[in-house]
Amino acid sequence: MVASINAQPIEVYLYYARQERTRENADTRPAPDAPWSMKGHHSKSSSTATTDETLTESTQTCSKLAPTPELLLTEPERETTYRLLRVASWQVVFYLITTDMLGWFTASKAFAQIGYGPGALVYTCFFIFAFAGGQMLWRVYMNVDSEEFPVRSYADLGERTYGPPGKFLLNTLQALQLLFNVGMFIVMQGQALAQIIDFKFCYIALNVFFALAGMLITQIRTIRNMAWLSNINVFVNLSIMFVTAIGIALYDPVPGQSGHVDLSEPIRLHGWLPPGTDWHTQVAACQLAVFSYGGAMIFVEFIAEMRRPADFWKAALCAQFLCYATYMFFGIFGYSMQGQYSAILPTVNMANIAFQAVTNIIGMFCVFAIVSLYAHVGCKLVYRVVLRGYFRAPSLTSRKGGVYWALTVLVYYCAAWALGSAIPNINDINVIVGAVCALQFTFTFPPLLLLGHWMQVDAAAGDVPWEPGMEPYSNRIDAWGNWSRWKRGMARWWFFKLLLLLQFLGSLTLAGLGIYSGVRTAKQSYRLGATTAYSCRAPGQPIHR
């Protein structure tokens, strides 16, 4: 029985990772600067030539579960497979991260719930912590990834730090978040289209239409073939934001979108918390900000495809700062224009059908881009962990594997549609998913992973240096059952490790509050009739229609 590549001691990963980073620093080959230049670049460079089929086959070779994975490959096969996966520049990853994270539409609603001051403070603080979380993941990745022991997912970091339970937890939560994300975007587009056509068609049928469209796009089996979509999506998304800003400045809001009967009350703006705001509403607003930065879940997948992983910090900083700037701009501007009438879907919260049609029809492109990205990663996770791991499904490069993939996509979208239609109020989905999953991957797990990794590295500093040929663990002078190893692991830089622990506990507390707040808000929506599961009536639809 060959051990899993995630079951090695930390000193083995550190040894090979140092060699890998040295090789990467010496690699002067240029990386493609944009998704649409990939194909031409590779066709002109014999040193990096590859095809989609070769890349897909190599990816599948790398993604098989133990005991038949990378450790059984020959040295040339392993090196070829590892190199073929790394084709992306940091500019490409910038577009992927921005596509993954950019969700400006909830910002004005968050400001409306907690006011200017707390809103700016919340978005700024979460930007800092989100960037720090991404850098923590990147640092752990750089210390444990190598050609011999490649890291391909967030769960790999969890298993190498905390063992199989860590991998199981991360895989489960990642699968849940991806599924809920797809479901949320399905109902979001159904609600927007229902508003555009003046609620003249069954809302739940519109959701089915978008689920079917997503199924077709997600038939693409390589994330590399989707990179061009992310590139275009960023510019389209920003254009829609500016058009929406013009629309809400020129026209009155639609009262039903914010839960109001009419616009009889004057617009009210608050520098601090609006009077009468209860605590669970404040927590819900924080969860909207959390969800806006919740992209770290698939950061590791992005890093794993970079030609130079050391450049990831550039992509993350530029992408996350761009998202922060758009959130602050649209949040403050939208709240200033609409006050308490700000809604979770600003593209339909303006009393002009032309602006609604333009923003939402073009916006469908952005939604399909992000949905296809989430669904692609989600289906790959299900295919790799469940179908290949337990049912021995064939490789995706085979014809039979293509059939299995199509069925996986079909079942995945059906499940996403069922979940989204069960909680069609988008604000409720945002809060619950943000608390259960998004907050964990971006704010809770990164400090926990870095803390565990850091303690292992410091504890290993007292051991005999490991070298190839030595049996795993034979170089250690003690084990984790001895206090001496814990002491070495905790003593060095103990203050910063304590801060990581406090950040983990604080994020966990916020997650608990968010879950309670989200469930309470969802129950209230059902009780007031604002939300009806599996209904032809869309959320915010006037009673007389």
Residues 282, 262, 349, 534, CA torsion sign: positive
* Residue 34 confidence (pLDDT): 44
CA-CA-CA-CA dihedral for 441, 442, 444, 449, to nearest 10: 70
**pLDDT for 122-172, tens place per residue?**
999 999 999 999 999 999 999 999 888 888 888 899 999 998 898 888 888
Query: In this structure, what token pair is assigned to residue 49?
Result: 């030539």
Query: In this structure, what token pair is assigned to residue 481?
Result: 């059952």
Q: Which residue's structure tokens are 């007292």? A: 462
d(CA 333, CA 487): 52
Please state which of the ranges 28-42, 58-72, 412-426 shows the lowest mean pLDDT.
58-72
Cβ-based burial of 284 (10 A; exposed 0-12, middle 13-18, buried ≥19): buried
pLDDT band at 68 (very low <50, low <70, confident <90, very high): very low
d(CA 61, CA 102): 32
d(CA 365, CA 233): 7
Phi-psi region of 270 (alpha: psi -120 to 50; beta: other; left: phi over 0): beta
**Phi (first) and psi of residue 392, to 5 degrees:** 55, 45
* Residue 465 confidence (pLDDT): 87
**Phi (first) and psi of residue 58, to 5 degrees:** -65, -40
Residue 76, pLDDT > 60, answer no
**pLDDT for 417-446, tens place per residue?**
888 777 666 666 667 777 788 788 989 999
Greater pLDDT, 218 or 112: 112
Residue 93: CB atoms within 10 Å: 25
CA 301 to chain CA centroid, Å, is 10
**pLDDT for 468-523, tens place per residue?**
888 888 888 888 888 988 999 888 889 999 999 999 999 899 888 878 877 777 77
**pLDDT for 370-393, tens place per residue?**
777 778 778 888 887 788 777 788
d(CA 320, CA 305): 19
Residue 409, pLDDT > 80, answer yes
CATH dotted code for 10-461+477-528: 1.20.1740
* Residue 525 confidence (pLDDT): 67
d(CA 175, CA 195): 31
